[in-house]
Amino acid sequence: MRWKNCARLSERIDKTMENSLNQAPALHTAAFDIDDRVGAFVPHGRYRIAGAANGPLAGLRFAVKDLFDIAGQPTGAGNPDWLRTHALPTRSNALVDSLLNAGASMVGKTLTDEIAYSIHGDNHHYGTPINSAAPDRVPGGSSSGSAAAVAARLCDFALGTDTGGSTRVPASYCGVWGLRTTFGLLSCASMAPLCPGYDTATWLAHDADTFERVGQVLLPQTGGTAFKRALLPFDALEQADAVFRPAIEQVYGALRALMHAEHCRLSADEGELERWRRTYISASAYEAWQTHKGWIEQTRPSFGPAVQGRWDMARDTSPETAHAAREKQVLVRHQVRSLLGTDGVAVMPSASSVAPLRDASAAEIDQVRARTFRLTCIAGLSGLPQVSIPFFTPDGLPIGVSLLGPAGSDLALIRLAAGIRRSLQDPAQ
């Protein structure tokens, strides 16, 4: 079905290329016959851009989520109507340029859930990429194609985005490294938005060394963070299936050997994480509608049923509801940041379950999504960095264990996570 969809899209893509008035000077792109055995790449993104001859990432290959602009090439944002109605970008996203200048070569653009408005990983128009680590299960979204491409070793790493969990969840589902960066640390200019107040630019990699090398190129070089306290928030742990607990205990145990450790709760109130989830959903939905209202009302784009339902909800979110949610977010942000301070790191599940089966019912998907958002909204509301470390269950299914750190501690958090994973001496690293 995926390939039929791609074939039907080819004519629309050609028209987009012909009708774009702002033809930008293209980079040195070349058509590239991608061995896309997992359906990770979009039909209009099958080209290669060679990186610099030398640099810290020389010899590495990376893919780019189809939200990032590349000069002279179309950005599709997971939706054919977006592709059709947006002119070719005149400049590339700065992260793409930085990676190319560091010696990495780009090998194509990858599928995203429509306008990044999902964490499941399916796309009504382009299909669902195959999760190589669990082929009968979804890859997670919205960085679905990036995670699938990395998991299948079609590239060494891939750019993604994370608004409500769109990198952390697919990283957990596909058994790869991923993160949400500190909000505002990396520019989201020249990138199709979902909610500018929550969007972050991210990447995924299949090994700790590559993951860290990319961080050294993209992240600001600071003096680092001296982590002194390891926290285990039990209310977050309670949101995930029991299969996460052994891996979390491993990570927490390794941290406990390095620093002071303490059990805690993010909030003493029962059900507070559900209230946080609703806060994030209301605030982000209202902002998403304000961002895309004009385009949606003018274009009347075709969305898949689940994504259309979210846009309907976003349209109906009142300013009063959004204002109350923003006021609640201020309290959550203060609470979480105060708990971590400048030297704390919290251990928590990256998602609430293993990846759902590809044929799971809508009710099952919604239940998993709600529990997962109770976890992912924590970093989203507080604007903090979170690194997802890959593990596998005894049955061989991928799961992610996360480290949540203070604002701006991204690079130090990556180094800590990589060191912990290596110390555990598991082939999954």
Tell me the pLDDT tens digit for each residue of 397-427.
999 999 999 999 999 999 999 999 999 975 4
Is residue 8 over pLDDT 90?
no
Computed over every residue of the chain, the mean pLDDT equals 92
Is residue 330 over pLDDT 60?
yes
In CATH terms, the superfamily for domain 2-218 is Amidase signature (AS) domain (3.90.1300.10)
Question: What pLDDT was estimated at residue 223?
Answer: 65
Question: What pLDDT was estimated at residue 34?
Answer: 82
Q: Give the model's confidence band at 18: pLDDT under 50 very low, under 70 low, under 90 confident, else very high.
A: very low
Percentage of the chain beyond pLDDT 70 is: 92
- Selecting among 65, 143, 282, 328, the annotated active-site residue is 65
Q: Which residues contact 316 (CB under 8 A, 6 or more apart)?
A: none
What is the identity of the amino acid at 302? S
Domain ranges (residues) in the chain? 2-218, 229-273+318-423
Peptide bond before 142: cis, by omega within 30 degrees of 0? yes
- Selecting among 132, 142, 352, 388, the annotated active-site residue is 142
Q: Is 166 a catalytic residue?
A: yes
Spatial separation of the C-alpha atoms in residues 289 and 295, rounded to whole Å: 10
Whole-model pTM?
0.92
Q: Is 293 a catalytic residue?
A: no
Q: Give the model's confidence band at 221: pLDDT under 50 very low, under 70 low, under 90 confident, else very high.
A: confident
Least confident of 19-28, 252-261, 304-313: 19-28
The CATH code of the domain at 229-273+318-423 is 3.90.1300.10
Q: Is 109 a catalytic residue?
A: no
Is residue 147 over pLDDT 70?
yes
Q: Which residue has the tokens 């030297």?
A: 343
Domain 2-218 shares a fold with domain 229-273+318-423: yes
Question: What pLDDT was estimated at residue 278?
Answer: 98
The more confidently predicted of residues 360 and 15 is 360
Question: What pLDDT was estimated at residue 426?
Answer: 53
- Give counts: helices (H), strands (E), the chain: 13, 12
Q: Average pLDDT for residues 370-388, to the nearest whole number?
A: 98
Query: 30 with 48: CB under 8 angstroms?
Result: yes
Paired tokens of 424: 């555990």
- Selecting among 143, 166, 172, 284, the annotated active-site residue is 166
Phi–psi pair at 123, nearest 5 degrees? -140, 125
- Other beta carbons within 10 angstroms of residue 37's beta carbon come to 11
How many residues would you count in the chain?
Answer: 429
Question: What pLDDT was estimated at residue 31?
Answer: 73
Spatial separation of the C-alpha atoms in residues 152 and 40, rounded to whole Å: 9
Query: 386 with 403: CB under 8 angstroms?
Result: yes
Query: 414 with 157: CB under 8 angstroms?
Result: no
Question: What pLDDT was estimated at residue 27?
Answer: 63
* CA distance to 29, 287, 289, 324, 382, per residue, from 319 (Å): 45, 10, 11, 9, 21
Half-sphere exposure of 184 (CA within 13 A, CB side): 7
